Amino acid sequence: MLNKNVIAVTSGKGGVGKSTVAVNLALALANLGKKVALIDLDVYGFSIPKILNITSKPKTINNKIIPVGYENITVMSMGFLTNGNDPIVWRGPMAGKMVNHFFDEVIWGKIDYFIIDMPPGTGDIALDLHNKLPHCQEIIVTTPHSNAVHVAERAGSMAKETKHTILGVIENMSYFTPPFSTEQYYLFGKDGGETLAANLNTELLAKIPIVCSQTNEEPFLLISESETLTNIYQTLANKLVEKLDFVEQV
């Protein structure tokens, strides 16, 4: 069974950068000296192996899975168990079994924080996670766009209905600043994160801008290529550690 420092990164819809946020948050926590596991539960839309450019596969010992190491985090994803980029064609109950599989059949060792990249929306896997980990805490990711905020509110409402704590909201793709400029362009609208946080009675944890890769290489690990984003994610990681430490002491 996982410890209580389990953070599910979720969203109402796809395309808001949820997986990118999960990856970079895990790396930022690890940079603080924490032992971090990253679990890709987006069974149908897994992307973390690609984001991290991991080509190795997990090994097994005594019918248990040893997760894949990447720098100073450990990672498990459905993408490790498929043949190339083959799609997962399962009905809900089969996908739900992966929740138990990743939690009960993987040798995680001592971990300070589990970061879970959830599938978007409020489907079977989200329900299974709520039942499996009733003390899981959630971060809701949205863009500033009003449609994304509207849909993300449903994910937050589900967390509340299942008694999961919402740690806060992250507004991704908040604005764009061209190179050698300080001007901010709000490509997807403005202040959607504040609106969502207010509607869910929670905190806006961070506003993350759009930053273009300077190397034009894939995958694009934001935290390693942009000083601005590194600072934002490290501030976010520190804030979450403080929040969770406070909860433990109460």
pLDDT score of 172 = 96
| Domain tally, the chain | 1
What is the dihedral angle through the alpha carbons of 10, 224, 191, 11, rounded to the nearest 10 degrees?
A: -10
What whole-number distance in Å separates Cα of residue 139 and Cα of residue 167? Answer: 6
Written as six digits, the tokens of 174 are 């908040």
Instruction: For residues 220-245, give the mean pLDDT.
Output: 83
The CB-side HSE value for 186 (13 A sphere, CA atoms) comes to: 11
For residue 217, name the pLDDT band (cuts at 50, 70, 90).
low
- Which helix (H) or strand (E) segment holds residue 151: the answer is helix 146-161
For residue 52, is pLDDT > 70? Answer: yes
Q: Where are the beta strands (DSSP E) in 13-142?
A: 36-40, 59-61, 64-66, 68-70, 73-77, 113-117, 137-142
Asked if residue 196 is part of any domain, the answer here is yes
Tokens 């995958």 sit at which residue? 219
pLDDT score of 219 = 46
Asked if residue 110 is part of any domain, the answer here is yes
Could you tell me the CATH number of the domain that includes residue 34? Answer: 3.40.50.300
pLDDT score of 250 = 44
Asked if residue 141 is part of any domain, the answer here is yes
Asked if residue 1 is part of any domain, the answer here is no
pLDDT in tens, 138-184: 999 999 999 999 999 999 998 888 888 999 999 999 999 888 888 99
Q: 52: domain range?
A: 6-249
Three-state SS at 187: strand
Q: Which residue has the higher pLDDT, 1 or 227?
A: 227
Asked if residue 205 is part of any domain, the answer here is yes
Q: Which residue has the higher pLDDT, 230 or 246?
A: 230
pLDDT in tens, 67-123: 999 988 999 998 887 777 766 666 666 666 777 888 889 999 999 999 999 988 777
For residue 54, is pLDDT > 50? Answer: yes
Burial label, 42 (beta-carbon count in 10 A; 0-12, 13-18, 19+): buried
Three-state SS at 232: helix
Q: Which residue has the higher pLDDT, 197 or 101?
A: 197
Asked if residue 204 is part of any domain, the answer here is yes
pLDDT score of 80 = 87
What whole-number distance in Å separates Cα of residue 162 and Cα of residue 57? Answer: 34
pLDDT score of 95 = 65
What whole-number distance in Å separates Cα of residue 20 and Cα of residue 2? Answer: 23
Instruction: For residues 17-29, give the mean pLDDT.
Output: 94
